[in-house]
Structure 1
Amino acid sequence: MTRRAGVAVASLALLALAACGGGSGSGGDGDSSLTIAWTSTPSELDPNLYGGNPDVYLGHAHMGTLLAYDIDVDEDSIVALDDLEPGLAESYETSEDGLTYTFTLREGVMSEYGNELTADDVVYSFERMTSDPKTLQSSILLPTSNVDVESPVTKVDDYTFTYNLTAPSAQALTILAYPILGILDSTEMATHATDADPYAAEWLATHSASFGPYVIDSFQPGTEVRLKASDTYYGDAPDYTDIVIRAVPDGSSRAQLLVSGEVDMISEPPIDQFQTIEDGANTSIFQGPDIFRHNWTFNTTDPALSDPRVRQALSHAVDREAIVESIYQGYAEPAYTPQSPQLYDDQPETGTYDPDLARDLLAEAGYADGFDLQIAFSAERPGPYAENIARLIQSDLAEVGVNATLNGVAAVADFQAGVSGKKYQSFLYTERPSQPDIGFGLFLYLNSKSVLNTSGINIPRLDEIALEALRTAPGPERDALIEEGLQLVADNEPIANLVDVPALVGINDSVGGYKPLTSGGFRFEKLTKE
């Protein structure tokens, strides 16, 4: 996909998907089934009801999107903003002011119910997304992409529609490949709608109704999902015609299932099982680029932590190299920048290990004798090793006179409520912006109006920068804004980023074609049998 000078025009040829490879899967020669173990599986299928990351991951299988992520990128690079290819749309043109995209749909695309894709399906899908202001699409993805939420798309004819923006956007196209913005079969949906349920939410909670490469064959909420390759998919047939995804919460159990050959892939392989997986006869740990970070978030409304010098001091007190080696066994990198280095190259440095500087900063802030600090954590996020990370931080802080007490919160719901309610003085957490855009990352976690601003940081100039960056097309002007914003984050450090974590998946050697997406998922139809 390229963008020309002057009137920006991008024309996407009707590209075929990559040819599928031959060979045998883990189930034996000719087997076309794949079994995956995730930590959890969705409790429902409605894209308007975001219930966690597995909803998005599964959406990559059964939701047809207007554009698709192009995974043919360098193995050391993330799938970034411009890495897009045709999906349900075969081409688009951009207006001179960058506010209107005119899309042309592929013709002859059929849903699993035998209904042809038209612009009416696109209009219906966006109307459904925006029917509730609390959906993730309405509240975050469309507004931050400057899409006109009141009139996101307009039908031109059966195969043409416009995509309407209120200001230029760096990520307006990228979100169209995100599965919860997938297109639904409005004809089929209408057969399940009622006066009380006009958008057929009850039916869609347990059924698929899109134009993706797979369809839902059976669904047991929170337990198991079975997928079958769609007979009506517009692209080439995938190697795997049947996929089973099972919820296996225990990490060691997932690892053992992989090594024994009972499953072909596992999510979130536990660190203490990495060697077991690597030593398996046919298994290994896939490691790829990601924008996933584990961090230590400060409540900036706390009396002590409201001083940026204190927050910087705490960050400089932590030996990230030691955390990487002892906790992550070298499968991560110390995080020394305000945002993931995969999103932006030139960033100010933060959090270098310097206990003497930490003591000096504490003294400047009036805490020469230290102070008491609580660190909350959950085994769910960042993971079962959270307590070990907290203990290492606790030990480092003792060296600079800070007395840290640890608060392990057993119930995930209670922990999340405490994070959202800003009840903790500090806590261990994770972040992975769903869109691979530095401006989106600045807004999502650091803008005072964002629901995901868990630190409570409120810097008016940073708010202005984040909003302006979202309204500015890529180029020198936007870069200048981003660099000013990153410096403000470094100077204030509301979040001490600890480690940059790669995409880690346990996988059978017979499965090829895996490329992680910044959503945390992958393109199911691109998996190959090696």
Structure 2
Amino acid sequence: MKKILSIVFLCTMLVLSACSSSSKSSSGADNQGIVEPKDLVVALGAEPTILDPQDSNDSLSNNATELLFDKLVTLDKDGKIVAQLAKEWSTSADGKKITFKLREGVKFQDDTPLNAEAVKFTFDRVLNKDNKLNRYSFYSEFIDKVNVDSEYQISFDLKFPFGPALTYFAQAAGAIHSPKNVKEQGKNLGKAPVGAGPFKLKEWVPGTKIVFEANPNYWGGKPKVKTITFKPVPENSARAIMLETGEADVISPVVPTDVERLKGNDKVNVLVSPSSRSLEFPMNMTKAPFNDVRVRQALNYAVDKETIVKKILNGYGKVAEAAFAEPVWGYSSVGAYPYDPEKAKKLLAEAGVAPGTKIMLWTPEGRYLMDRQIAEFVQGNLQAVGLNVEFKKFEWGTYKGITTNPKKDGYDIILDSWGASTGDADWAARPNFATTGSSNLSGITNADLDALLDKGMKTANPDERKKTYNDALKIIKEQAPWIFVLDNKQITGVRKNVEGVYTWTNERLILRDALKK
């Protein structure tokens, strides 16, 4: 009897042990070593402003919408155009029609079908001027008409052959909305989006966090993390500490002064990559004294850009030699304004600007790499040539609202940064320097420049386009609507137990393939 009881006890313990092992496997990893999806925390310098891709023009918002939405085409890790919702596409012989064949059976996160009608609805919405969406001019300049050819085929009639068209469809603004959700949400759409991407919006607590949860029905396969949480952390040192302690899995941007310390942490990787982003200070040309080209040129001579790059950015940047950054297609160097404070003083005197003239300098804090620190340095440079510079810093959301139109907002000099999200010179130059440009923060108006930018947009030949943009860059330099400062590098911090995080040169932080071990 004792032997029988011992055998029964042993068998019972073996069963319990097996159950425990099975339970542990299902909550941690299975026999193939697949880890159960975890939560990913991302600390950013500021938070997105809106989650409607057609009404957004800031990269933080686009980082979020890249999780929520899919597009007809997108970019791979190397920045090359690849299929997404469209499985194939073709361009007509005259270059004035692009046709996309869609994947079949794809559904939005609200379980409605994604078909050609949904694509047409999305683009017709942004092309309707009455909707006053931020990306109206982005597409209206070259798209004439959107056609539903069949349930899963859509075509676009173009106003002219447009060489970089596919890069425009691959930009975040090309994201396809659920028509049902757009109709239901109305003006609330930017806070309650529905796309067909790998993540859904779970929660948005303004100023605190945005939480995205995995879309289990994503056509491309269920994501490898359970949730992704964006946290706005404007203080640079706070972001770095969060990465070091594991409170954050990814941080962006990493400030150059933290790079070496983070590289010495065996739990952290620091990713440094090229960027199509430039940093500059638009001057309000619609008001005195900035309506005088001599003043604008003087302020360019007044700023010590080499020291900004070497001392403030620790070399993680490059003095700007053109109005847009070197990685942008169509870039050519037209030369930087050298640091020459004496020449700056002379030009100011010639323009009749008296010593002690008061001007305003505004900046966000935490949105761009070392933005406040750079703005403070520029303040010192401008004061050194005799100006009385009133300095103000703002939270990003507030700043965006008061720096959209030079005439309406009445600012003097503002810190701004432009990342050419398409990677093409057209979108690097036309929004900023065309008279009717959607981001013409200086208020520049120049007929010769307008003609060149229009020609560059409507010319298909690459060599001719490059020549056109070189001519345009020379005019922009001479007119000096901005204080041209630097081309950025992207610096991102990632915990070593996180894989699949990378950036595009257009400053998109791509997280949809992230895996946390």
Quickly name the TM-score band, shorter chain normalised: 0.7 to 0.9
CA distance in 1, matches of 2:380, 2:207: 39
Of 11, 23, 32 in structure 1, the residue corresponding to residue 37 of structure 2 is: 32
Kept after mapping to 2: 8 A contact 1:94/1:102: yes
2:155 to 150, 159, 162: 162
State how far apart, in whole Å, the 2-side matches of 1:44 and 1:386 are. 22
1:106 match: 103
**1:305 corresponds to which residue?**
290
SS in 2 for 1:378: strand
Cα displacement (A) at 1:261: 0.8
From the superposition, tell whether residues 137 and 428 of structure 1 become closer, same or farther in structure 2 (CA, over 3 Å): closer
Q: Is the 8 A contact 1:259 1:282 kept in 2?
A: yes
Residue-by-residue CA offset, 1:100-128 (whole Å, 9 max, x unaligned): 11111112323344444321221222233
Q: Quick one: distance in 1 between partners of 2:401 and 2:192?
A: 29
Q: 1 CA distance for matches of 2:482 and 2:464?
A: 26
Whole-Å Cα distance in 2 between the matches of residues 457 and 248 of structure 1?
A: 34
Opposite residue 403 of structure 1, the aligned amino acid is L
**Structure 1 residues 272, 450: CA separation in 2 closer, same or farther (over 3 Å shift)?**
same
Q: Aligned match of 1:68 in 48, 56, 74?
A: 74
- Give how far 1:156 is off: 0.8
Equivalent residue for 2:438, pick from 445, 451, 459: 451
Q: 2:165 aligns with which of 172, 178, 202?
A: 172
Structure 2 residue 402 is matched with structure 1 residue 402: no
Q: Displacement, 1:162?
A: 0.8
Distance 1:111 1:481, change over 3 A: same
Output the CA distance in 2 between the equivalents of 1:203 and 1:388.
Answer: 36
Mapping for residues 464-475 of structure 1, pairs under 5 Å: 464-475=451-462
Give the TM-score normalised by the residue count of structure 2.
Answer: 0.83
Answer with 1 or 2: which has the greater Rg.
2
Question: Quick check: 1:147 aligned with 2:143?
Answer: yes
Q: Are the structure 2 counterparts of residues 219 and 429 from structure 1 closer, same or farther at C-alpha, using a change threshold of 3 Å?
A: closer
Alignment pair present for 1:328 and 2:324: no
- Confirm whether residue 504 of structure 1 aligns to residue 509 of structure 2: no
Q: Is the 8 A contact 1:433 1:444 kept in 2?
A: no
Q: C-alpha distance in 1, partners of 2:260/2:343?
A: 38
Q: How far apart are the structure 1 equivalents of 2:347 and 2:482?
A: 17
TM-align CA RMSD: 3.2
Structure 1 419/208 Cα, relative in aligned 2: closer, same or farther at 3 Å?
Answer: closer
The 5-angstrom pairing of residues 244-259 of structure 1 reads: 244-259=229-244
More off after superposition, 431-440 vs 98-107: 431-440
Shift of 1:270: 4.3
Q: Tell me, yes or no, if structure 1 residue 210 matches structure 2 residue 210.
A: no
CA distance in 2, matches of 1:403, 1:60: 43
Candidates 103, 124, 132, aligned match of 1:127: 124
Q: SS in structure 1 opposite 2:487?
A: strand
Paired position in structure 2 for 1:137: 135
**Contact 1:375–1:407 under 8 Å retained in 2:** yes
With over 3 angstroms needed to count, the CA separation of the structure-2 counterparts of 1:107 and 1:458, relative to structure 1, is same
Structure 1 residue 275, shift from structure 2 partner: 4.5
Inter-partner Cα distance in structure 1 for 2:376 and 2:190: 42
Secondary structure of 2:276's counterpart equals strand
Do the aligned partners of 2:253 and 2:491 also contact (CA within 8 Å) in 1?
Answer: yes
Cα distance 1:161–1:391, how it changes in 2: closer, same or farther (>3 A)? closer
Identify which of 178, 182, 189 aligns with 2:175. Answer: 182
| 1:323 Cα deviation after fit | 1.2
Measured against aligned partners, the alpha-carbon deviations of 1:462-493 in whole angstroms (never above 9, x if no partner) come to 01111221122242222222121111112211
Paired with 2:148 and 2:37, the residues of 1 have a C-alpha distance of 40
- 1:413-463 CA distances to partner (integer Å, 9 max, x unpaired)? 368526623523333322223322112222111111123211122111101
Change (3 A) 1:480 1:410: closer
Partner of 2:85: 88
Shift in alpha-carbon separation, 1:474–1:527, aligned structure 2, 3 A: farther
State the 1:147 CA deviation: 1.1
The verdict on how the C-alpha distance between 1:418 and 1:483 changes in structure 2, with shifts beyond 3 A counting, is: closer
Question: Which sections of structure 2, spanning at least 5 residues, go unmatched?
Answer: 1-27
State the AA in 1 paired with 2:391: N
Unaligned stretches of 5+ residues in structure 1: 1-22, 74-78
2:223–2:512 contact (8 Å) kept in structure 1: yes
Contact 2:276-2:507 at 8 Å conserved across structures = no
Sequence identity percentage: 24
CA deviation after TM superposition for structure 1 residue 529, in Å: 5.1
CA offset at residue 370 of structure 1? 6.0
* Partner SS for 1:525: coil
Matches within 5 A, 1:290-301: 290-301=275-286
Residue 108 of structure 1 contacts residue 116 of structure 1 at CA under 8 Å; is this kept in 2?
A: yes
Q: Cα gap change, 1:449/1:470 in structure 2, threshold over 3 Å: closer, same or farther?
A: same
Q: 1:218 Cα shift? A: 4.0
CA distance in 1, matches of 2:395, 2:334: 37
Contact 2:299 2:382 in 1 (8 A): yes
Structure 1: distance between partners of 2:97 and 2:234: 45
Structure 2 residue identity aligned to 1:346: S
In 2: Cα distance, 1:68 partner to 1:313 partner: 42
SS at match of 1:173: helix
Instruction: From the superposition, tell whether residues 129 and 523 of structure 1 become closer, same or farther in structure 2 (CA, over 3 Å).
Output: same
More helix by share: 2
Determine if contact 1:336/1:352 at 8 Å carries over to the other structure. no
Does the 8 Å CA contact 1:440/1:470 hold for their aligned counterparts?
no
